[in-house]
Structures are given as C-alpha cells and as structure tokens.
Amino acid sequence: MHRVLQLSDTHVSRTGPDEDSVDGLAALQQLLYDVRHVPALDLVVVSGDIADDGSKEGCLAVRSAVGSFAAERGIPHIYSTGNHDRREGFEAALSWGHLGPDGSPIGRRAQVDGVIAAVSEINGLRVITLDSLVPGETHGVLGREQLDWLAAELATPAPDGSIVVLHHPPISVDAILYMKSVVLQEPAALGDALAGTDVHAVLCGHLHHQLSGMVGEKPVWVTPGVVTRIDLTAPSALARGVLGAGATVIDLGGPSSPMFHILHARDPRAGSEVYVYDPLTGEDTTESS
C-alpha cells in the first residue's frame, strides 16, 4: 500500500501573489495546515506550475513550505514542470525535482536534452516525472526522445508498480470548448508508451479542477489547483477562476486501487470569483459575468 498527496498549480511568484493578485503561498500554507492530520502519507508530488512567473524565488518558496511538511513526516517531495515554470528557475531551486525528506536530490535525471524528467523509487513505488512544458505556450508536448526514455524505464517492472506525473493532462472534455487546445497534444503517444506497463495512474494538474479519464489503458487523474479553482458552471466558452485550494490523496494497492480522495482547504472565501475570461481570445469578461 502506498499513499500519495498530490498538489498542483501553486503559482507562487518572486513577489508572492500571482498575476491575478492571489496569494498562492498563503493558499498553499493553509492547505498544508488543513491536511496535517491525513495519515500514512508516503510522499508528496506537486504536478507543475510551481512558480507563476517561473522564478527561482517562487520555486524556493514552494519548496520551503512543502519541504517542511514532508520533513515533519520523513517523506520525499517530488515536482514536475508546468507551463508557467521556466526550466532554469525550476532547476536552480529544485534540481531535477526529486527531493528526499532532508531536501537532497534523489533518483536519476533523464538524459534527454532540453527537458527536466526524472525517476526515483520510494519504498518500492517508482515515481516518474515528465516535462511537458512548451516555453511561451499553454499546451503541453512530450517529444519522441522523452517518450522513448519513459518506455525504457518502464520496460522493467518496479516492486510496487509506478506512477507517472506530468503537468498537462492527456485527456479533455469535449463540451468545454477551449480545453483540447490547452492540454497535452498527441496524447495517444503517451498511451502507447504506457501500454502493458506497471503504471497505476497518470497524475496531472494544469486544469485547476478535478477530472478523471483514461489514456489508453491507464487511469488519469487531474487534481484541483492550489491557487485557484476553475468553476465549470461558467458558460462553456469561458474560464471562471474562484478561490478554494484543493488537493488529492491517492491510495495505491489493494483491489480498489487506484483511489482518489479530494481534499479542500477550509477557506471562508472559497467560491469567491477571481477572474472570468475567454481562453480562445484572451478577452477578460470579469465585470460582465
């Protein structure tokens, strides 16, 4: 049995608040405080958009908060890049993103040029982080070399199986008009690399709301964001962001594995509107919403 706490989309900048003036660090600290009694965690993963401005300072602030939480429990903390991250800032603060309870790097970085992907084994569970970042773009891509590396790593089963962590989901909801343009492109290639392997689940972020589906034969889980949540009651052409940090606990092992449990911070402002915009045009419609 393994139990994973998944966080995503912390969006902390070098000055603190994100581009929508939301204090992501405060939201993260409140969430970590509220989940402090969750038992039997084996590791924490943060699936991208660590720093809203891609800065080393933003990544260091998240590392400090999550690292303190992990150190108190004696568990590793693991990070992947997101579209808001910059590889130089991420690497300066987090190395290749796999950190032990004391903050020192663990595992191995992929020898793939231009990306920050890595693998480590934690008490028999293999954790693989992929880099779907396309600088300056919202959508994600996994190149052929990275997918080949992934397939080679998965060719030998791990004692307790594997999880794959990346920012951009390989799934989307057709009824949400803009979603397909912002998720992982060519998701079938990822499904092919995972076919027949010991992967329990693919863990993603990016969408700021919970979503489940399949890529090929493997379950995909998208955890809600820490800094804001996307409210899908908005018109399907619009993205409405509201306050309310969320996270997921993933239970692996046993006949019902994988299981996903949503956690919400106890924020009295939860549901308060932060922004409304049209993702396809960039038009801000907050005041008219």
pLDDT digits 0-9 by tens, 123-133? 999 999 999 99
pLDDT of residue 282: 78
Give me the CATH number covering residue 74: 3.60.21.10
Task: Give DSSP secondary structure letters for 101-154.
Answer: TTS-B-SEE---TT---EEEEETTEEEEE-----TT-SSB---HHHHHHHHHHH
Residue 282 in any domain: the answer is no
Q: What is the pLDDT of residues 142-173, one digit of tens each?
A: 999 999 999 999 999 999 999 999 999 999 99
pTM: 0.96
Domain assignment present for 94: yes
**Does residue 190 have a pLDDT over 90?**
yes
Evaluate whether residue 285 is within a structural domain. Answer: no
Look at residue 22 in the predicted model and tell me its pLDDT. 87
Q: Is 89 left (phi over 0), alpha (psi -120 to 50) or beta?
A: alpha
**R_g of the chain, CA atoms, integer Å:** 17
- Check pLDDT > 90 for residue 221: yes
Look at residue 62 and tell me if it is in a domain.
yes
In a domain, 58, yes or no: yes
Within a domain: 242: yes
Give the pLDDT band of residue 289 (cuts 50, 70, 90): very low
Domain presence at residue 247: yes
Mean pLDDT computed over every residue of the chain:
95
pLDDT at 138 over 90: yes
Range of the domain at 112: 2-277
Confidence (pLDDT) at 287: 54
Please indicate, yes or no, if residue 231 is contained in any of the structural domains: yes
Of the pLDDT bands very low, low, confident and very high (cuts 50, 70, 90), residue 288 is: very low
Count the domains in the chain.
1
Does the pLDDT of residue 33 top 70, yes or no?
yes
